Structure 1
Amino acid sequence: TELLGRGRTAVPAGLAEHFPDLTEVATYHRLRCDEKSGEPTNHARNYVRPALARRIDPEDLVRWPMTKVLRDVVGADIGRITDTVEARLADPETARLLQVPLLSPILHYTGVTYDAAGRVLDVAVINYRGDRFSFTVTLETT
């Protein structure tokens, strides 16, 4: 995993509903590659509460997913994560980063991480190569 960038930004309009009490969030942009081939597999952007971001060591994000860092390193009390996965076509930036042709199919994932009180801690937006990933969900009924 390569940390492409980090900083602070105004809360993006599309994420304002998740951070109604904030005007800015910390951002992290990472590119993950296959360990054997070196081929890019996904790129992720995380939008995190600034109070939590102050306790994140960027080197931890090279080793582990944001959820693990928040839970195990920062000590955030994660209550739930809501995942949304949809099919999309690669835009120019995504195609360049993932080394796929423009308009290639990708899996677009949004994960919203909440604390035990229901407050959003992190929103992860991840684009996966469509030719490398699939998701399986199993629901058990009782």
Structure 2
Amino acid sequence: MDHPNYPHAQAPGAPVRDGIPEHGRIPKYYAVKAQIGALVDELGEGEALPTERDLAVRHGVARETVRQALRELLLEGRLRRRGRGTVVAGPKLEQPLSLASYTEGVRRQGRRPGRTLIGLDRFPCPPALAPEIGLERGEPVWHMERVLLADDERVGLESTYVSVARMPRLDRDFDPDSSFYSYVHERLGIDFGSADERIETVLATPREALLIGTPPALPMLLIHRVSYDTGGDPTERVRTLYRGDRFSFTTRLGGNER
């Protein structure tokens, strides 16, 4: 049976029937959001949107209705703020769920990866962390925290924990703006063999939001990863926050029987 608002030409990744329920009743802001979304599709990356006042007049609604529509488009990453205005955002960065580094994932999309070091500290390994990186409680561990960049735009925050015994010269030999995976492989001769990874959605803490440069209410994608070398020994424990409006994740699934 054919339904109205469910065109045969609909993109496979789009919401069914444009997200409109069968009874046809939708919130006013959502109708405005759909209309502004169509305008966004017509404009190019970086082009400015009309002001809230102009949009309210154009669609015959209150400015608060326009603000709610814009808030959702901002959270979805289709728009971004520039000064006091709003412009069309570029496509989201696609990061593979694999052992490839952040550097490789960003470069594949023609963007320039970078990092800003927040801190590199050495301290006794706490009990909760010890089993994850194969250490005894109290053994020395490094903690490295870096802001992730793509074309100088802050897009994430990464915390890495590694054994000092295994990487004793990390504070002297490693360039914090470079790929940690390349350093581990090329300078230390360690190859990553596998990883356990868990993904969840969270809100950034006030400190994290300040470092990444986002509102605390912006949803984040949080990845926990424990990586192992080819011999099965733990190599790193990483906690990475990615901006939900700037990132999506991809993977390829195998054909095992269900």
- Counterpart of 1:62 in structure 2 is 177
Partner of 1:27 in structure 2?
143
TM-score, scaled relative to structure 2: 0.49
Distance 1:47 1:127 in 2: 15
Aligned residues: 138
Q: Bigger relative contact order, structure 1 or 2, given CA contacts below 8 A and separation 6+?
A: 1
| Candidates 164, 181, 194, aligned match of 1:50 | 164
Aligned residue for 2:211?
A: 97
Per-residue CA deviation, residues 62-83 of structure 1 (Å, 9 max, x unaligned), is 121x222212221113221222
CA deviation after TM superposition for structure 1 residue 20, in Å = 4.9
Question: How far did 1:117 drift?
Answer: 2.9
Quote the sequence identity (%): 29
Aligned counterpart for 1:80 among listed residues 173, 194, 208: 194
TM, length-normalised to structure 1 = 0.85
- 2:150 maps to a residue whose letter is D
Question: Gapped runs of 5+ residues in structure 2?
Answer: 1-114
Q: Which residue in the other structure is 1:133 paired with? A: 247
SS of residue paired to 2:145 = strand
Distance in structure 2 (CA, Å) of the matches to 1:9 and 1:74 = 22
Name the one with the larger strand percent. 1
Deviating 4+ runs (over 3 angstroms)? none
CA 1:21/1:70 → structure 2, altered by over 3 Å: closer, same or farther? Answer: same
For 2:222 and 2:237, how far apart are their aligned partners in 1?
13
Question: Aligned Cα RMSD in Å?
Answer: 1.9
Unaligned runs of 5+ in 1: none
Tell me the alpha carbon deviations over residues 1-38 of structure 1, each in whole angstroms, 9 at most, x when there is no partner.
11111121232454233135332311111112222xx3
Establish whether residue 6 from structure 1 lines up as the match of residue 115 from structure 2: no
Greater gyration radius: 2
Which amino acid in the other structure matches residue 204 of structure 2?
A: A
Q: Which residue matches 2:131?
A: 17
Say if 2:241 is the partner of 1:115. no
